[in-house]
Amino acid sequence: MVVRKLAVMLLNCRWVANSLDFNKDYEASVFETTIRVVGGLLSTYDLSGDKIFLEKAKDIADRLLPAWNSPSGIPYNRINLARGGAHNFGWTGGNSILADSGTEQLEFIALSQRTKDPKYQEKVEKVVKELQKTFPADGLLPIYINPRSGTAAYSTITFGAMGDSFYEYLLKVWIQGNKTEAVKHYREMWETSMKGLQSLVRKTTPSSFTYICEKNGNFLSDKMDELACFAPGMLALGSKGYGSGEAEEVLSLAEELAWTCYNFYQLTPTKLAGENYYFHPGQDMNVGTSWNILRPETVESLFYLWRITGNKTYQEWGWNIFQAFEKNSRLETGYVGLKDVNSGIKDNMMQSFFLAETLKYLYLLFSPTSVISLDEWVFNTEAHPLRIVTRGDLHQENVQVDRQQKLPIHFRGRKEGRLGYN
């Protein structure tokens, strides 16, 4: 088995070295390319030590960098990989999207650490510094940011689509930097935002499901995306940075929200969650958009809650969700989403995040806690683990990989240069 896995790794490394070419006349999402491609390559480098993955990560990151050349430093969200020419979607009115603009810090900071080139870190840290200038008292930012002024444009506030991972990265950059003084402001901003999150929390009757509202101006909308089900895991992960009393309150909120997200699955005929849910006075909740595209957020939160609390209930919930995927989504050639979680009618697509995130978090949910330890690794928003490195002078930082002691079992036994790329 080990020999077979090493052979597959060898073939993959050769393909990356000889065939992976980013010089394409293709308009890419800066956000999606960062979390999936840059993050994936850096994670593979951290796990394997093969420099070809670092070189390719630098190549694609260099193609993305012009997106940050806006008047404010807030990045444009689209760019052509061969020709540059960064811009935003027309439907945003020329604005940048909060999640798309504030979810590159982990990857670009890691790239600067590993290449000793500060330019990547400087670009993404300027974004946070710009947002910090006008950061609201409740820490809640609208989903549209003006790339010229760097200020928020009037729009929805949400922990769902287009807002979610900005808040996640405030916490995770603090963890990535080993919780040192250099990253203290990320934690402070995150805690401010979590107070804002609590102002959006409501409960249903009669079942007391806890949920996170969306906000439009002064109006709260009783709607919650399945995407927002990353929040229980984020709260659980961040709870360890509070004092004991507040930590218990934050962890309790995480567990209440996780129960709601689990019931997003359990309350449909297929036991798979819809894309979003609505809550009404005197009722519990009902499916809004009824498709399921194999999203990972609820399973992600179950993974964090199990790791942090040791409560095996979260493993049971994860197993039930996995069984629902097996029953409703599995085909001979892979897995597909559902057009409707009520009827069970299938679509014909397996999203890449199902492999990168949903199945990975399910695997880790049933693995020993030493496998990708949360004391040594931080997951980017596409579930690619990056090694935690103490922040300081980039020229002093060291990210040497201990292949024999730190890596999962299927990477052990590798020797420096064995695959010929070091």
Active-site residues, by number, are 32, 164, 275, 297
Tell me which residue of 335, 344, 354, 212 sits closest to 276, measured CA to CA.
212
* Residue 41 · residue 60 · CB < 8 Å: yes
Length of the chain: 422
Residues 6+ apart with CB under 8 A from 410: 2, 5
Q: Is 51 left (phi over 0), alpha (psi -120 to 50) or beta?
A: alpha
299 close to 361: Cβ distance less than 8 angstroms: yes
Residues 6+ apart with CB under 8 A from 416: 49, 403, 422
* Rounded Cα distance, 261 and 304, in Å: 14
Annotated binding site for Ca(2+): 381
Which regions of 137-254 does DSSP assign to beta strands (E)? Answer: 144-145, 152-153, 201-203, 210-212, 214-216, 219-221, 223-225
3-class secondary-structure state, position 137? coil
Which residues contribute to the annotated binding site? Answer: 381
Sign of the C-alpha dihedral computed for residues 365, 371, 373 and 374 taken in this order:
negative
Q: Residue 371: what are its φ and ψ, rounded to 5°? A: -80, 110
Cα–Cα dist 186/175, whole Å: 9
Place of tokens 């997003």: 264
